[in-house]
Chains A and B, each alone.
Chain A
Amino acid sequence: MTAASEAPAVGLTHQGSEDTGLGQRGPASKSIVVPYGFWLFVLSDMVLFSALFATYASLVHATDGGPTTNELFHRNLVAIETVALLVSSFVCGLAMITAKRANMLWTQIWLVVTALLGLVFLSIEIYEFASMVAEGAPPQRSAFLSAFFTLVGCHGAHVTCGLLWIGTMMAQIWAKGFQPHIMRRLLCLSVFWHALDIIWVAIFTIVYLIGTLP
């Protein structure tokens, strides 16, 4: 084993055939490893949300004589929230397309639109929470309301973090340009933003639509 070109003694070596993960090329490049690691984080975040969903589903009828789902939730507001977050996710994809072509103007425009739609979503959610507290349905009223505010509030906290992240990325693209490490961060941001929309699909279905069935 003197020359680096020789095959290693251990491990499967299918030279030139399919990648077995044990080849001679060494570890994958950073542009693969970093988003893959972030993908694992996003999936573990979904596992966290699954625990909150399970808690909510177990406690949804534990209203302690207080307001129920049918009395509290308004479908029209939820529909606006849903469309805002969905279009925001779509525009985030457009920002990724223009960022790949290093188009500064349109990347910044699409990121602003993404953030504004996220802000619309967050404003409606805060309005909803405030009016629920004003109607006598704060988190401490019943086990159902504790579970509701934990689940939906956790999603709202994620959206807030995402908005701060979008602002940070806009500043970094502006200051440093489309360098490889900036592009990696931008890709992670888009994965995060799309994942938030996936979690919202579960929330609007399980919490709001099923909660307001007659």
Chain B
Amino acid sequence: MTEPDPERLNVAPGAPHDSMLSETISYVVGLGLALLLTGISFWVASTSVLWGPGVATGLVVLAIAQMGVHLVFFLHITSGPDNTNNVLALAFGVLIVFLVMIGTIWIMAHMNANMAAPSDLMNLQMQR
């Protein structure tokens, strides 16, 4: 059997690929999708058509979608076998990011709600 080319087994994150045309198309498609998602985000935040309490959640979902667009089209993170190392590192990073953010918000909201204090002490208003 022939030895596979070592350079094809791994690719660096952000490394361009293939022909000039396909690379340019990748960036143009990424830009179009990112602009579209940004536009939808600003529209969703400005309109009153949508159910008010759900808007914040919708905005977070749109932001995560746009981050995915950036990762795929700008940083060229794919599901291909040459990208395993990059994807695993990304997965670990995402895990830590979510643990830190959700854990902190969860705990701090509960502490804020359960702290039996006069109303002028709530929301750290006494701290200067």
Contacts and interface: CB of A to CB of B under 8 A. Distances in A.
Interface of A: 15-19, 25, 28-29, 31-32, 34-36, 38-40, 43-44, 46-47, 50-51, 53-55, 57-59, 61-65, 75, 79, 82-83, 86-87, 89-90, 93-94, 96-97, 100-101, 143, 187, 190-191, 194-195, 197-198, 201-202, 204-206, 209-210, 212-214
Contacts, number: 165
A159 B124 CA distance: 32
Interface in B10-42: 10-16, 20, 23-24, 27-28, 30-31, 34-35, 38, 41-42
Given A65-B125, A75-B46, A50 B14 contact: no
A64 B27 contact: no
User: Which 4 pairs show the lowest CB-CB distances between chains A and B?
Assistant: A16-B1, A35-B12, A43-B93, A54-B104
Interface of B: 1-4, 6-7, 9-16, 20, 23-24, 27-28, 30-31, 34-35, 38, 41-42, 45-46, 48, 52, 55-56, 59-60, 62-63, 66-67, 70-71, 74-75, 81, 85-86, 89-90, 92-93, 96-98, 100-101, 103-105, 108-109, 123-125, 127-128
A97 to B, nearest CB: 5
B66 A50 contact: no
Which of B13, B45, B92 has the most chain A CB atoms closer than 10 A to its own CB?
Answer: B13
A50 B100 contact: yes
Interface centre among B14, B34, B123 (most CB of A within 10 A): B14
Interface of B: prevailing SS = helix
A31 B42 CA distance: 40
A15 B14 CA distance: 29
A86 B34 contact: yes
26 contacts: A16-B2, A16-B3, A18-B81, A32-B7, A35-B12, A51-B104, A53-B101, A54-B104, A57-B101, A57-B105, A58-B109, A62-B123, A63-B125, A64-B125, A64-B127, A83-B38, A90-B30, A93-B30, A97-B16, A97-B20, A97-B23, A202-B63, A202-B67, A205-B59, A210-B59, A213-B56
B12 A61 contact: no
B60 A205 contact: yes
A64 B124 contact: yes
B63 A205 contact: yes
B60 A206 contact: yes
A213 B37 CA distance: 18
Given A54-B105, A58-B104, A143-B124, A86 B38 contact: yes
B4 A19 contact: yes
Contact of B97 (A15, A46, A94, A100): A46
Contacts of B48: 214
